[in-house]
Structure 1
């Protein structure tokens, strides 16, 4: 295990960052929205232009820790009076360079978000990126907070729990987020440097209750159980070929999608009854077998019966997948890029891979030991916001629905969710609509095409009359058989309750 960072120096650095107003809002104001977006694409020039001529503490720290540029030692000392350059060196965040300059050894970027407990402003340290390094990343690189990290953080279920496990913690962002709702968090990683950053970030932001353990995947927690498990594992499919970088933060060292397969089939024993595991992953479309069908096989291979909800968000062809992850490592087009593309394509061809899917996996260990949820779906539209509360509401609805037979559901009183709207499309001059759509403003932002009977039922669900009474009235209005209509509508009502278009009154 790495030597823990000095708590006193971490507190001093937090006080200095706070004193300098080193926040996400302040940085966006300093260099503008366009430059802020450009930084995410690896372009530092617009932000540097905006800060030109400024030597205040915010500008100095922005250049040092966000843009990864060397700064004059005197300016750094002035910006960090409590920490000093010696304190930065003690935390391995910066080091003295030639000509009286301080060189960053890590990035520190503000992260802001809100949840049910309130607004949060953190600082997250990680390794220098390719823009700061001026070239490809080293294989031991510890990634900062990227798009995948934010996605998984937004997927975490809300609600108080006892113990949470963060597998492959990296810079620790998932562990910090999980600690907001958990009594204790265990964060594991096979990289000592990753655990160093997790410890540093926890202390820098005053977050306790996170235990660090060194090791691969489930090895450090064998025999233990957790109410929640969260993981952004090294799921990227990488050729096992000479000359192909194996980045620790994204490559698990296995062939194809074997790491995700092993995680899904092996996580069950670590879940306490009623516990939930959430992860991101890639899966191959291989030899004519659909990617989601392969994930279904992995769930079925678990020794512990599990509920599963798997959402595929996108599918890439082998070439697009290769280019995405080669660029991610900092390799730009040229001979080296071409060699890496060939290695990826050869690897995919050897296994008959025609596409790669990416998505979210939610696994639940039912307390009854009898799974009742097996949902594998494709949802490719943009998602309006964090999905954690929506996922929890869907699981709660499923749990309630699994205890209701059709007669009990018909006796239930429902209401339309407040984010649902209806759109009707008419052909010119036509009295009746040719298409009726229900649109969801939250959750997955789903749009469903419905028939007049279901549209009428949803529109009448105002928390007053039962579903059965409403269906009988609609059958009479449409002059159709009431029993046949009920048999048609009730399964669709279950789906609308799960997906959040309807709620129990």
Structure 2
């Protein structure tokens, strides 16, 4: 699909932006306020024609500063200049106009960029493509699901030196700046660096250094405690949309970045990459084979597959932002692009496209460690969960089942067991249960009633073997069955510890 020319608006970093940002928050332009005001379920705000009609009615019903700011900065509508000045003050309005984030035309104000609150910060990006235009090749996206996922999967270390590789609008660098001593943010796209610099300024963040260049080139020879990246991982036949297309052979860019990352980590440092890779026939049971091949010799890694799409779904969803959307030419162009992508994947015998993350830790001389799980995104922060999983790999060693046999298990504060009760002739009995985390990556474990009982015993003071023996005795098992249960208990408890769902007490 051919892309339109890049949007012209590029915000400038000018004096007064920090004060302008403070004025926006003081006026009530916050993430919670915006979500409530527009009546949406989250910060991923829908923009269909019917949604816009609904927003128009909601804003008209409750006029005031938030309505004015939402109309201009979020929805891209115009408002009188005096109304904007009343909302945030003349000085803040002047700073945003000087930065070319806002444009004044014949007494009215319109936004040249999209500026949204995200948690405690403000993030500017390109406006959503207008109908009939499509996103340009240097388009700078806003906060989206992958950006939120990367933030969730990032390890936070106070005083760390952080690298945000391919910073885009700068969201990862902005979040890291709150706990890091210094942050380096790189991008090959000069428009992205302009947006990221503007976002740092409007949030009053001064410990980020922005460098232009391709991937690790701007930081050659440097090491960091944390590297994060949401690269253009999309497998496609195109190479003209900077934030989307990976170029080259499917998965090659992700593989190169993951492989090179350990060379830029300090010992013990972490790197988190969002990645995508092709799935070929016969690899469903070993879907991690390709990501595992990317790892360097000193890397311990956790590979997460968080979704997979068939070729048609993959092609259709990634071309929507670049469709012109007008009948008949836009629809014909979109259809041709989807067909081209599907053909590209078929020619390479790709049966599905997997999405997920590779989380690495540098371990000089400790050998490689690999864990692979299918997972959901989870909730809260995954920091503690990630640390538990990597620590567990050290404790479990080469023979996890023997390691847990004589150990008691501990319960993370964020662990929960959700159970079911099943009616029977004698009343209610314990049914299936699930061990999960309320804060962390979603990799729950399903437990049958017997294994639930063993988990409760092994986290209640007994060793794993003792817990299995106690349950076997209660059930009246013969020696052969009891031995089988002990083996199953060791296997299960080692897996639960390896997933970070449980911990291990001291030797």
Question: Which TM-score band applies after superposition, normalised by the shorter structure?
Answer: 0.7 to 0.9
1:89 to 94, 97, 101: 97
> Superposed, which structure 2 residues align to 1:28-47 within 5 Å?
28-33=35-40, 39=46, 43-47=51-55
1:388 to 383, 399, 408: 383
Return the alpha-carbon distance in structure 1 between the equivalents of residues 80 and 247 of structure 2: 41
Asked if 2 retains the 8 angstrom alpha-carbon contact of 1:161 and 1:228, the reply is no
Q: CA distance change for structure 1 residues 354 and 41 in 2, over 3 Å: closer, same or farther?
A: farther
The SS at the match of 1:285 is strand
What residue in structure 1 maps to residue 410 of structure 2?
415
Alpha-carbon deviations, 1:107-163, whole Å to 9, x = none?
Answer: 110111xxxxxxxx21111111125x7631122111111111111111112333521
What residue in structure 2 maps to residue 439 of structure 1?
435
Return the alpha-carbon distance in structure 2 between the equivalents of residues 262 and 138 of structure 1: 26
2:333 to 332, 336, 342: 336
Structure 1: 5+ residue stretches without partners: 113-120
Return the alpha-carbon distance in structure 2 between the equivalents of residues 361 and 424 of structure 1: 34
What residue in structure 1 maps to residue 151 of structure 2?
153
What residue in structure 2 maps to residue 296 of structure 1?
289
The SS at the match of 2:195 is helix
The TM-score normalised by the length of structure 1 is: 0.86
Asked if 2 retains the 8 angstrom alpha-carbon contact of 1:161 and 1:227, the reply is no
Return the alpha-carbon distance in structure 2 between the equivalents of residues 409 and 173 of structure 1: 41
Asked if 1 retains the 8 angstrom alpha-carbon contact of 2:465 and 2:490, the reply is no
Aligned length: 486
2:461 to 434, 441, 464: 464
Return the alpha-carbon distance in structure 1 between the equivalents of residues 43 and 12 of structure 2: 32
Alpha-carbon deviations, 1:179-209, whole Å to 9, x = none?
Answer: 2332111111011111111111112112221
Return the alpha-carbon distance in structure 1 between the equivalents of residues 321 and 166 of structure 2: 19
What residue in structure 1 maps to residue 68 of structure 2?
60
Return the alpha-carbon distance in structure 2 between the equivalents of residues 405 and 40 of structure 1: 50
Q: CA distance change for structure 1 residues 354 and 201 in 2, over 3 Å: closer, same or farther?
A: same
Asked if 1 retains the 8 angstrom alpha-carbon contact of 2:231 and 2:274, the reply is yes
Q: Are residue 474 (structure 1) and residue 468 (structure 2) matched?
A: no
2:307 to 304, 314, 322: 314
Alpha-carbon deviations, 1:274-301, whole Å to 9, x = none?
Answer: 2211111111123x26379575345435
Structure 2: 5+ residue stretches without partners: 1-9
Q: Are residue 104 (structure 1) and residue 111 (structure 2) matched?
A: yes
Asked if 2 retains the 8 angstrom alpha-carbon contact of 1:235 and 1:259, the reply is yes
Asked if 1 retains the 8 angstrom alpha-carbon contact of 2:319 and 2:334, the reply is yes
Superposition RMSD on alpha carbons, in Å? 3.1
Return the alpha-carbon distance in structure 1 between the equivalents of residues 390 and 110 of structure 2: 49
- Residue 178 of structure 1 and its aligned partner are, at CA, apart by 1.7
Q: Are residue 21 (structure 1) and residue 18 (structure 2) matched?
A: no
Return the alpha-carbon distance in structure 1 between the equivalents of residues 282 and 402 of structure 2: 39
What residue in structure 1 maps to residue 13 of structure 2?
5
> Superposed, which structure 2 residues align to 1:344-383 within 5 Å?
344-371=341-368, 373-379=369-375, 383=378
Asked if 1 retains the 8 angstrom alpha-carbon contact of 2:162 and 2:183, the reply is yes
Return the alpha-carbon distance in structure 2 between the equivalents of residues 326 and 377 of structure 1: 29
Asked if 2 retains the 8 angstrom alpha-carbon contact of 1:127 and 1:143, the reply is yes
The SS at the match of 2:307 is strand
- Residue 102 of structure 1 and its aligned partner are, at CA, apart by 2.3
The SS at the match of 1:233 is coil
| Bigger Cα displacement from structure 2, 16-25 vs 392-401 | 392-401
| Bigger Cα displacement from structure 2, 134-143 vs 29-38 | 29-38
What residue in structure 1 maps to residue 265 of structure 2?
271
Q: CA distance change for structure 1 residues 404 and 252 in 2, over 3 Å: closer, same or farther?
A: closer
The SS at the match of 1:267 is helix
1:70 to 68, 78, 93: 78
